[in-house]
Structure 1
Amino acid sequence: MPVSPPPLVYRSSGRRLYVRRSGSGPPLLLIHGLSGSRHWWRYNLPALEARHTVYVVELVGYGRGWGQRSLGVREAARLIGDWLQAQDMQQVAVIGHSMGGHIALRLAELEQARLSRLVLACASGLLHQRWWRMALRLPGAVVTGRPGFLPVILADSLRAGLPNLIRSSRDLLRDDVADLLPTLHLPTLVIWGERDVLVPLPLGRALAQGIPGAEFLSVPGAGHVVMVDRPATFNRAVLDFLDPQAAAS
């Protein structure tokens, strides 16, 4: 069995951003959501790596970045943007899930010229409520999701720690992207689980409507972690969007 290479580590102002690279082809950056890690893309990587050089970020305070104080969505976007600049990466497609989609939007605000396409999966950014109200929805999100994925969610949440989860939740709920959306001029796919109780489907439609020319796709039977709940549908839709010429042929 081939041994996966160690993650790249980008250090800035005492923070460590972990990035794992795999595959070959045009660059594709994956950003996980609240309490997530690289493991949340386990059902997607084989399909994505076949066509792209995939960079999987593990945010400060999460995954391999555990033990650090988590960053707000804008701070996280700046750190990722600094890493893109340091690598002089161009024409990067970005997929962000939940809080990761929120961060992807803020990254696009900073580095739109470096990006090629944007995929927003059940992204926060238009969610307005108290953090504890969102926490009350978590059991429902678990019930509507893939049962076998629950151990990964619990393990990653425990590793991140309650202070980081609360800090990140409060920050993302304070950051509204409504004014940013009309300024985005990137081909964008907004993809949502129809059963998402954490960031409900109408918010996905509103997000897509706010971005000029954005496409919207709802996935039947999927909850908040859409790329885990319905990976085949997610992978096919994302690859068709990222590689329209290949899809047409």
Structure 2
Amino acid sequence: MLGGVQIQTFQAAQATLHIQKTGVGPPVVLIHGLSGSSRWWRHNVPALSQEHQVFVLDLAGYGRAWRQRALSVQAASRLIADWLVAEDLVEVTLVGHSMGGHIALRVAALLPERVDRLVLACASGLLKTSPTRAALRLPHAMLVGRPSFVPRIMADALRAGPMNLWHGASDLLRDSVQDLLPQVSARTLVIWGTRDVLVPVALGRTLAAAIPGAKYHEIPRAGHVVMVDAPAAFNRLVLSFMKESEAV
């Protein structure tokens, strides 16, 4: 244990998840996006771990698991599903940002009996563009986000490396979740930043409308990294959603 945080790894199919676990209670799994890392959730873990056991992932190829090739969206989803089964985690809440939300949707489709709730933050999965066009939006995205977070974005992108980022972006833009959405059985909350220039708000509304019973919220003045730009509002929405769904 390091300061109340337990460090774990899980390996399957020659890929490794790096996992940080803290707190006690129903399981919540935080999945970062393309070029991200577990550090992107540092403003959220303290609030979520007060009443939940929180698992913060570094996906293969990113963060503390950077010394390997990044997996495709579908391969990363299978790896997380294998880990959930190995840990025998049930009634799980998956919280995914951007590519992490895309992955969370696929995990929920693989294990509907284990995934009880989904929180999709500025999730990819419906985005239709090219990796080059997406990359051209990055400077604008950083300008509308929290300035103090830009060094973390740059450090994690450098750690992941250009090949992982290019292959990851190309893969997620080819992988649509459109056909999965009407079949989602997990209770779902979709959260978007009104100033998201990477995955536009219109896609968030479309995503939520296609998931049966999904709730949708926009956070004013927040950009793509919504849980960093507006952590207090984000945490409030997530905690309220989990309390409401537990009462159902």
TM range (shorter): over 0.9
SS at match of 1:112: coil
Question: Matched residues in 2 for 1:187 and 1:90: separation?
Answer: 14
TM-score, normalised to structure 1, is 0.96
Question: Matched residues in 2 for 1:162 and 1:4: separation?
Answer: 34
* Contact 1:32 1:58 (C-alpha < 8 Å) held by counterparts: yes
* Contact 2:72 2:171 (C-alpha < 8 Å) held by counterparts: yes
* Contact 2:101 2:120 (C-alpha < 8 Å) held by counterparts: yes
Aligned to 1:148: 148
Aligned to 2:34: 34
Aligned to 1:94: 94
Q: Could you tell me how far 1:243 is from its partner in structure 2? A: 1.3
Q: Could you tell me how far 1:4 is from its partner in structure 2? A: 4.4
Q: Could you tell me how far 1:14 is from its partner in structure 2? A: 2.0
TM-score, normalised to structure 2, is 0.97
Question: Matched residues in 2 for 1:246 and 1:106: separation?
Answer: 23
Worse overlay, 75-84 or 14-23: 14-23
Question: Matched residues in 2 for 1:246 and 1:56: separation?
Answer: 22
1:160 aligns with 2:160: yes
SS at match of 1:228: helix
* Contact 1:240 1:246 (C-alpha < 8 Å) held by counterparts: no
Aligned to 1:104: 104
Q: How has the CA–CA distance of structure 1 residues 110 and 229 changed in structure 2, closer, same or farther, with 3 Å as cutoff?
A: same
Aligned to 2:228: 228
Q: Could you tell me how far 1:11 is from its partner in structure 2? A: 1.1
Q: Could you tell me how far 1:112 is from its partner in structure 2? A: 1.1
Aligned to 1:115: 115
SS at match of 2:196: coil
1:195-214 residue pairs with structure 2 within 5 A?
Answer: 195-214=195-214
SS at match of 1:120: strand
| Cα offsets for 1:153-178 (capped at 9, x unmatched) | 01000000000000000000000111
Question: Matched residues in 2 for 1:4 and 1:132: separation?
Answer: 41
| Cα offsets for 1:57-97 (capped at 9, x unmatched) | 11000001102000011000000000011111111011000
Task: Please tell me the residue identity of whatever aligns with 1:186.
Answer: A
Structure 2 unpaired stretches of 5+: none
Task: Please tell me the residue identity of whatever aligns with 1:154.
Answer: M
Moved segments of 4+, more than 4 Å = none
Question: Matched residues in 1 for 2:37 and 2:155: separation?
Answer: 10
What's the % identity of the aligned pairs?
Answer: 56
Aligned to 1:53: 53
Task: Please tell me the residue identity of whatever aligns with 1:85.
Answer: V
Question: Matched residues in 1 for 2:76 and 2:99: separation?
Answer: 10
Structure 1 unpaired stretches of 5+: none
Aligned to 1:66: 66
